[in-house]
Amino acid sequence: MLAQAVESYLAVRRACGFELKCQGKLLRSFAAFSEACGQNHVCSETAVQWAGSARSLQQRARRLGDVIRLARYAHAEDRRHEVPHPIFGSERGPRPVPYILSEDDIERLVQAASQSGYRTLRRSTYSTLFALLACTGLRVSEAIRLRYEDITPDGLVIRNSKFRKSRFVPLHETARVGLEQYLERRRPYAPFDDHVFVSLRRKPLRLVDVDYAFRTAARKIGLPCHPQRPRPTPHSLRHTFAVRALETCPDGRDRITKHMLALSTYLGHGKVSDTYWYLQATPQLMRNIAEHCESWVAGAQP
């Protein structure tokens, strides 16, 4: 019975656009654990016991949070399902401070990628990929899923990204030229695969491949990698794009609101609050906020 409730819950959430791959596995594991304990409904005590087997406190909180959402759904139809209390605290820890790259960092990173590894397509692949991420703000997952048909005369079509959303990303002429030059070399390398970016295995790039190539290039140019400080990752290129876009935001409340909404849509954020988070990313943005607040307190127009 509990296993059926899990499948029903997952089907409804996925119909709303959530993938729930990891959560689905965990909830099925919880259902099996509960049924092994003789429970056919969500039991708070059993849920806490199952979630408590995770290694870290944050993992326990996330596990219990998944069960809580399941229980709320199931309780609406059958009150025998108990809704556990979030005794492990918040599921989300503080969001890590993004590492913002300078223009010089990006240039040196792309150059390092173009010289790393064997003299093969690999060099062109990663230098083009990093340059594309930097000038478009794409997610890494979106870039490595690009196919030939997604490159149009007007820009890139990003299909079925987060929450199954699709959007259009315009390309600057210099970015288009760089991409076309790469494709001239790439097409004969793996002619039966239409993914834009491919590995030396002649298959689509994996996230782990991109992460390794980025770390190699970042280490080569001396970018810091301290465990207790913000560290550069492939996603830093997207963070940097968002921050630079905010730094060019015009003054004026209405214009700022429109700029934020446009940037949020462009980046494919599900909530505009995800875009506002970038306001704390650099001293310049924080200084601008402080100056506007001081002006407002002093009686000036915001």
Q: With bands split at pLDDT 50, 70 and 90, how would you rate the model's confidence at 12?
A: very high
Q: Is 98 inside any structural domain?
A: no
pLDDT digits (tens, 9 = 90+) for 222-278: 998 776 678 899 999 998 998 888 777 766 556 666 777 788 778 887 776 677 666
Tally of domains within the chain: 3
- Report the predicted TM-score, pTM, of the whole model to 2 decimal places: 0.73
Query: What's the domain range around 66?
Result: 2-75
Asked about 269 being catalytic, the answer comes back as yes
Q: Is the pLDDT reported for residue 124 higher than 90?
A: yes
How confident is the model at residue 253, as a pLDDT? Answer: 53
251 and 171, same structural domain?
no
Identify whether 278 is a catalytic site residue.
yes
pLDDT tier at 57 (50, 70, 90 boundaries)? very high
- Residues 198, 136 within the same domain: yes
Question: Is there a domain that residue 85 lies in?
Answer: no
Whether 235 is a known active-site residue: answer yes
The catalytic residue among 122, 139, 145, 186 is: 139
Tell me if 302 is assigned to some domain. Answer: no
Annotation marks residue 21 as catalytic: no
Residues 243 and 209 in one domain: no
| Token duo for residue 183 | 């494709």
Same domain, 149 and 194: yes
**Strand, coil or helix: 151:** strand
192 within domain boundaries: yes
The catalytically annotated residue of 41, 235, 244, 259 is 235
pLDDT band at 287; cut points 50, 70, 90: low
Average pLDDT over residues 118-124: 85
Q: Which of 162, 165, 220, 231 is catalytic?
A: 162
Give domain status of residue 212, yes or no: yes
What are the CA-CA distances from residue 197 to residues 148, 169, 290 (Å)? Answer: 10, 17, 43
Does 108 share its domain with 231?
A: yes
Q: pLDDT category, 166, cuts 50, 70, 90?
A: confident
User: Quick one: 151 and 271 in the same domain?
Assistant: no
Active-site residue (options: 126, 238, 239, 266): 238
pLDDT digits (tens, 9 = 90+) for 187-231: 999 999 999 999 988 999 999 999 999 999 999 999 987 766 788
- Write down the pLDDT at residue 133: 96
Q: Which domain CATH number covers 109?
A: 1.10.443.10
Candidate from 61-70, 79-88, 90-99 with smallest mean pLDDT: 90-99
pLDDT category of residue 16 using cuts at 50, 70 and 90: confident
Residue 69 a catalytic site member: no
Burial tier of 240 (Cβ tally within 10 Å: 0-12, 13-18, 19+): buried
Phi, psi of 110 (to 5 degrees): -65, -40
Residue 150: predicted pLDDT: 96
Tell me if 92 is assigned to some domain. Answer: no
DSSP 113-138: HTTSSSSSHHHHHHHHHHHHHHHH--
In this predicted structure, which of 138-142, 173-177, 285-289 has the lowest mean pLDDT?
285-289
Is 226 annotated in the active site?
no
Position 145 in a domain = yes
Q: Which of 194, 212, 235 is the last residue of a domain?
A: 235
